[in-house]
């Protein structure tokens, strides 16, 4: 009898708790405040979410992970959803700037591709779910430069005909990460010999570089202003729509991989709305809307069936199976300081 009363009492408490959670979710204002990179949120995706849920989406943008980190560190703005790069996810977690989303309990989690269910920056998707991912490599205009390109050396140690016609990212981490892939050095290395080789490579390359600037890279390649360039796979795809002779290279050394993920900031004012959006994002049809807009891969199985055929079959989004992809990670303070010195000297 005593055990029966305890069981009934526990059941009543459980039901009350569930009702409380449901009431809290229902009571949240129908608003979702998103903080994302500029030009990285598909308008059709936001509109579809609003139509299906009645939750109004507002979007603020930023230009770097550092800006995102500063905003969240200041406890500002009450954003419900933010998009951060893989190497910044551990920082956000360690500084308690994000809250668990527990994606494994969501209805659409089964749609997430196995390779995106437990990444080293967030095992088990406790705090994040992939938004878009891709690679960084070299793009070459095969009409202007007719030699077969099989190595990143084409941009890092370019032939005479490419001098002054090469573009590189303006972000230190992106240039250095791809340079380390070319040199065959570990990402985030702080070994003195590796740093010396890295510095020498970039200093020798500098006279051949026309611009260090990732913004508008697709337009520069598409217009013919640049003959070769470091580029994200999505930007390379967009550039090829303007100039079909552009080729995205999968070099023998490998490519640098990047991934951006959605997180829920600790200060989110509408966390239940945010969780609805995360689940919404893992629907194949919705992931396809995002990819069609950004020109980048997503992590949702079956989404290619809803994407435009030209994008789903684009070589920029489909690395050969034997391609070595080196994803970024959180570097040590020693490595970051060394890279800052190299970059300051290069760009000074």
Q: Where in the chain is the domain with CATH 3.40.190.10?
A: 2-133+258-312, 134-257+320-347
- Retrieve residue 193's tokens: 């010999």
Q: What is the pLDDT of residues 101-124, one digit of tens each?
A: 989 999 999 999 999 998 999 999
- 19 pLDDT above the threshold of 60: no
Q: Is residue 319 predicted with pLDDT exceeding 80?
A: yes
Helix or strand or coil: residue 230?
Answer: strand
**Residue 75: pLDDT band by 50, 70, 90 thresholds?**
confident
Q: Which listed CATH number (2.60.40.420, 3.30.930.10, 3.40.190.10, 1.10.760.10) goes with 134-257+320-347?
A: 3.40.190.10
| Residue 96: pLDDT over 90 | yes
pLDDT above 70: percentage of residues in the chain: 92
pLDDT at residue 16 tops 60 = no
Q: Is the pLDDT of residue 11 over 50?
A: no
26: pLDDT confidence band, cut at 50, 70 and 90? low
The CATH architecture assigned to 2-133+258-312 reads 3-Layer(aba) Sandwich (3.40)
32/55 Cα distance (integer angstroms): 7
| 114-117, long-range: CB < 8 A, 24+ apart | 115/299, 116/299
Q: Which residues contact 171 (CB under 8 A, 6 or more apart)?
A: 64, 214
pLDDT at 317 over 70: yes
Phi, psi of 178 (to 5 degrees): -70, -35
pLDDT in tens, 220-261: 999 999 999 999 998 899 899 999 999 999 999 999 999 999
Segment holding 26, helix H or strand E: helix 2-27
pTM of this structure = 0.82
Beta strands (DSSP E) in the chain are 31-37, 56-62, 81-85, 98-99, 129-141, 166-168, 209-212, 228-232, 246-248, 255-265, 325-327
């Amino acid at each position: 009898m005593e055990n029966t009363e305890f069981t009934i009492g526990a059941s009543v408490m459980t039901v009350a708790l569930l009702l409380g959670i449901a009431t809290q979710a229902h009571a949240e204002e129908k608003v979702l405040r998103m903080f994302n990179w500029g030009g990285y949120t598909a308008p059709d995706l936001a509109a579809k979410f609003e139509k299906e849920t009645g939750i109004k989406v507002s979007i603020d943008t930023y230009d770097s992970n550092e800006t995102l980190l500063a905003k969240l560190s200041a406890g500002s703005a009450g954003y419900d959803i933010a998009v951060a790069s893989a190497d910044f996810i551990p920082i956000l977690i360690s500084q308690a700037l994000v809250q668990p989303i527990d994606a494994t309990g969501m209805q659409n989690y089964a749609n997430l591709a196995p390779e995106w269910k437990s990444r080293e920056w967030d095992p088990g998707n406790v705090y994040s779910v992939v938004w878009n991912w891709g690679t960084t490599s070299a793009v070459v205009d095969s009409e202007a430069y007719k030699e077969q390109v099989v190595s990143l050396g084409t941009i890092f140690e370019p032939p005479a005909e490419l001098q002054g016609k090469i573009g590189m990212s303006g972000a230190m981490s992106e240039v250095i990460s791809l340079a380390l892939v070319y040199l065959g050095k570990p990402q985030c290395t702080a070994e003195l010999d590796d740093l010396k080789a890295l510095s020498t490579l970039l200093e020798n390359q500098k006279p051949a570089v026309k611009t260090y600037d990732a913004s508008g890279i697709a337009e520069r390649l598409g217009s013919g202003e640049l003959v070769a360039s470091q580029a994200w796979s999505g930007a390379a795809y967009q550039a090829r729509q303007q100039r079909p002779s552009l080729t995205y290279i999968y070099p023998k050394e490998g490519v640098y991989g990047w991934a951006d993920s959605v997180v829920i900031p600790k200060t989110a004012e509408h966390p239940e709305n945010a969780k609805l959006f995360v689940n919404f994002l893992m629907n194949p049809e919705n992931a396809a809307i995002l990819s069609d807009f950004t020109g980048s891969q997503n992590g949702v199985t079956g989404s290619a069936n809803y994407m435009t055929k030209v994008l789903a079959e684009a070589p920029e989004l489909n690395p050969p199976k034997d391609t070595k992809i080196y994803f970024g990670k959180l570097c040590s303070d020693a490595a970051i300081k060394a890279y800052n010195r190299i970059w300051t000297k290069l760009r000074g």
